[in-house]
Structure 1
Amino acid sequence: MKNLIIASTSTIHGGNYLDYLLPVLENHFANCETLLFIPYARPGGITEDAYTKNVSTAFAKINKKVVGLHTFSNPVEAITNAQGIFTGGGNTFLLVTQLYQNKVMEVLSKAIANGIPYLGTSAGSNITGISMQTTNDMPIIYPPSFATLGAIPFNLNPHYLDADSTSKHMGETRETRIKEFHSFNETPVLGLREGSWLDVKGESIILKGTLKARWFAQNQDPVELDPETNLATL
């Protein structure tokens, strides 16, 4: 049975890394002594070692040890034998490229399908969808494919921002960009606002947090979804 926490962000405004989610994660990873961390997205160009250290500091608060996937000579074996897995945020293009180059995209997908507890934040959440094509990130590197894990039957847009009617910014809104995606693609997209997450258990996909999420389907008006909505019914 699938067992995922898919979060828009690792850090909410004014908080420390993962603090807002730690009570949920303590339960989510209750049967895990050690978590395998996938640091490939490297936010801001941080090194994989430094990124893993930051994650280790956060998870030490709930008495979990963290090891980085980059430290294993055989990443396929590391994922296969992991007790729980966390993929952090950063650049989705870089993350997907590294997953393919290290031949672990399919292995990770199978591990998730088999029920390994998984946490994704930001880019690590993007990859749980059908494709990474609704990411907000710059294409700093060219991945072999845009196809991702397909752990949920739609795409995500983490860090979803609503249009600000008082702003003088003339660029595209997130809603406009998602509509552009739907000019060529049928895959639904969930705009996941900061501080919200999805709790996936088997076929159930429950929206968690205090905020609504915005659901986009091709040739339909966007719909606001309340917390505790089961997206599997959409």
Structure 2
Amino acid sequence: MRLLLLSNSSAPGRGYLEHAREEIADALGGARRLVFVPYALADRDGYTAQVAKALAPLGVEVAGAHAADDPAAAVAAAEAVFVGGGNSFRLLKSLYATGLVAALRERVASGALYIGSSAGTNMACPSLRTTNDMPIVQPPSFEALGLVPFQINPHYVDPVAGSTHQGETREQRLVQFLEENDVPVVGLREGTWLRREGARLTLGGIDAGARVFERGAEPREWGPGADLGELLGAQGRFDVG
């Protein structure tokens, strides 16, 4: 299985996808056609055009799944698939409505590269439950694609010393998740990504690393280049009440 799971698609001072462009090019290998899944945003044409412009320097042709007569068939024939960020609830609802949950699972299992960013990275997890997004719509299920056996929290931010914010920190919210569910969570800071090639899972990034949360244990810090392959053997238990 081949995955590239980005925490974010834009980094300060850089163009869209620019911070990860070399990693994307390496992951694509010889693939020069990509199907983009834009359902996390309302302007699907504009979103697809943005991705096409960003990947043009790599010589990659981008087609929007939403523009196909049969989005599931378009994904089934894709060399690579990129699921973009936006609202995770809207995205997952659309994946179910278009038949892409099954189509994406099958195509990635048969060898196509899956690239996700933010909400698209959430989709690679077993469940939607560690997204940061507001539930603006209701998908038929929180079950996502399950391309990895652990959860990811994109855009992970550390507590800010001296902050006057009175809501929970991201760490507190993930601890609350683990009070109800027993499955590891990778907090991916901005500018980081996970790259999976078969049984190998590597943390990459331009600066910061990631934080791994597990029930009953102190969070662990990992830097770019770390091998997180142990997480591929995770056994998760979700509350179903």
Q: For residues 180 and 230 of structure 1, what CA distance do their matches in structure 2 show?
A: 27
Q: Which residue of 1 aligns with 2:129?
A: 133
Choose from 212, 215, 219 the match for 2:216. Answer: 219
Instruction: Name the SS of the counterpart of 2:62 in structure 1.
Output: strand
Instruction: Name the SS of the counterpart of 1:159 in structure 2.
Output: strand
Q: Which residue of 2 aligns with 1:9?
A: 8
Tell whether 2:173 aligns with 1:142: no
- Counterpart mapping for 1:39-78 below 5 A: 39-42=38-41, 45=42, 47-78=43-74
- CA distances 1:4-34 after superposition (whole Å, capped 9, x unpaired): 1101000111111001111111222232221
Q: For residues 33 and 202 of structure 2, what CA distance do their matches in structure 1 show?
A: 26
Q: Which residue of 2 aligns with 1:198?
A: 194
> Runs of 5+ in structure 2 lacking a partner?
232-241
Using the TM superposition, give the Cα deviation of residue 112 of structure 1 relative to its aligned residue in structure 2, in angstroms: 1.3
Q: For residues 231 and 153 of structure 1, what CA distance do their matches in structure 2 show?
A: 12
Instruction: Name the SS of the counterpart of 1:183 in structure 2.
Output: helix
- Counterpart mapping for 1:27-38 below 5 A: 27-38=26-37
* Residue type at the aligned position of 1:144: P
TM-score, scaled to structure 2: 0.93
- CA distances 1:59-88 after superposition (whole Å, capped 9, x unpaired): 111111111000111111111101111011
Q: For residues 199 and 123 of structure 2, what CA distance do their matches in structure 1 show?
A: 18
Q: Which residue of 1 aligns with 2:235?
A: none
Instruction: Name the SS of the counterpart of 2:56 in structure 1.
Output: helix
- Counterpart mapping for 1:163-182 below 5 A: 163-182=159-178
Q: For residues 135 and 226 of structure 2, what CA distance do their matches in structure 1 show?
A: 33
Q: For residues 114 and 229 of structure 1, what CA distance do their matches in structure 2 show?
A: 27
- Counterpart mapping for 1:10-25 below 5 A: 10-25=9-24
Tell whether 2:79 aligns with 1:92: no
Instruction: Name the SS of the counterpart of 1:207 in structure 2.
Output: strand
Instruction: Name the SS of the counterpart of 2:203 in structure 1.
Output: strand
> Runs of 5+ in structure 1 lacking a partner?
none
Q: Percent identity?
A: 40
Using the TM superposition, give the Cα deviation of residue 178 of structure 1 relative to its aligned residue in structure 2, in angstroms: 0.6
Q: What is the CA RMSD across the aligned residues, in angstroms?
A: 1.0
Instruction: Name the SS of the counterpart of 2:72 in structure 1.
Output: helix
- Counterpart mapping for 1:109-124 below 5 A: 109-124=105-120
Using the TM superposition, give the Cα deviation of residue 227 of structure 1 relative to its aligned residue in structure 2, in angstroms: 2.1
- CA distances 1:35-82 after superposition (whole Å, capped 9, x unpaired): 10000001xx4x100110111110111111111000111111111101
Instruction: Name the SS of the counterpart of 1:182 in structure 2.
Output: helix
